Amino acid sequence: MSTPVEDTQDLTGSRVELEIGPVAHGGHCVARWDGRVVFVRHTLPGERVVAEITEGGAGDRFLRADAVEVLTAAPGRVASRCPVSGPGGCGGCDFQHVDLAVQRELLGAVVEEQLSRLARIDRRVVVRPPLGDEDADGLDWRTRVTFATGSDGSLGLRKHRSHEVVPLDACPIASPELPDVLSLPWPASRVLAVAGSGGDRFVGAYDVTGDLPSVETDGLMADGRRVSGRAWVRERVRDREFRVGGSGFWQVHPRSAETLVDAVLRAADVRPGERVADLYAGVGLFTAFLAEAVGPEGTVLSVEGDARGSRDAKRNLHDLPQAAVLHGDVEQLLRRGDVGERCDVVVLDLLRTGARAKVVRAIAALRPRRVVYVADAAAALARDVATFASEGYDLGEVEAYALFPMTHHVECVAVLDRRS
């Protein structure tokens, strides 16, 4: 099945037998066919499969494919827990066909590969489940879901790398505490459902330009009817309560926030009286517990670019006079000196693009003794670790957590110490 083809030929729909190689970032594994790399979903390293090409032509450097038939299964393959996952189905999950322990092994391999390739660091990375979730089955955990609306108004999730909506009656990874939005038609392009750990629920309906005026977006859903309610939810972590705008950022697994707070406090190892900068701080989750750790003689600056997040942070930190909130673009504030001239510890919690070189260099200019880098993208983490190394910071401990079961996402908490 490896007969050469013309360079102009579209290979979409072609089926080939492949020997599957290692896992790669993005929820797929790597195979080779006719001299090209093929990124294959719905498979495992070591399997032999029949794969259907989903993207690419004969002249492309790489192809994308789905495993549509497993000829030789690898250890760790299980029956999918979702009826709409798999080739041509919902793109929300990558590993419904993989045992949870094996999922974590795959995620660890991805982090190790990215650190090796991009930062030239060989490091064994063990991925753990969320705190208290060791015996969970990987289902019923997602407390924030944005559903897309199909042409008939029904809700679902999109196919992988597609705008096509797969209708859903239920989502196996969604929390049962979410408001029931799937049973109703919606005059919106997307609908956000949120279940806060403090008992609140939120529904937001949006068109492509923002909120739909004809839909009460800040209401709550009860028994299929819209009722009045807050535009925010309460989230509880340890002994503190946080106010989070319904559409604001918060970790989607109910144990994620506590898991990351514990990891960040261990990694930061802040001391009473120290000055700490918490960058990309959101609603102040890490800031609050870092402020408790530095005590009344220390200071923690919570820096966030989202206006709603900064407003929520001010409310969440009002009882901690040693914590201050600074709203604005992190790179600009660092460059202008608004964060200060020196910090003892810097914590940064980044989305998939990472900090990038300008921010890394600005952080290094503060000469913190330690940087704690929280990342949900291994590639961005590895690139920034390489930049930190050029600025005199060495990678220490790396903790990793599978906070998004069934998906390829992995959260890392990395320590970077300044060379003496």
Would you mind telling me the total number of residues written for the chain in this entry? 420
- Buried b / exposed e over 377-410, threshold 16 CB at 10 Å, is bbbbbbbbbbbbbebebebeebbbbbbbbbbbbb
Encoding tokens for residue 248? 């604001």
Encoding tokens for residue 192? 């956000």
- CA–CA gap between residue 292 and residue 310 (Å, rounded): 19
Return phi, psi of residue 301, to 5°.
-100, 120
User: At 325, which helix (H) or strand (E)?
Assistant: strand 323-327
| Contact call for residues 373 and 414 (beta carbons, < 8 A) | yes
DSSP per-residue string spanning 361-376: HHHHHT--SEEEEEES
Strand partners, 55: 64
CA-CA-CA-CA dihedral for 34, 35, 40, 45, to nearest 10:
110
Q: Which residue has the tokens 């490896």?
A: 2
- Which residues are part of a known binding site for S-adenosyl-L-methionine? 251, 280, 304, 349
Which ranges of 166-300 would DSSP assign to H, the alpha helix? 256-268, 285-294
- Which residues are part of a known binding site? 251, 280, 304, 349
Strands (E) across 20-139 are located at 23-24, 28-33, 36-41, 48-55, 62-72, 127-128
Encoding tokens for residue 414? 């990395």
Measuring CA to CA, how many Å separate 111 from each of 62, 105, 130, 273, 379? 22, 10, 17, 35, 8
- CA–CA gap between residue 136 and residue 129 (Å, rounded): 9
- CA–CA gap between residue 35 and residue 28 (Å, rounded): 19
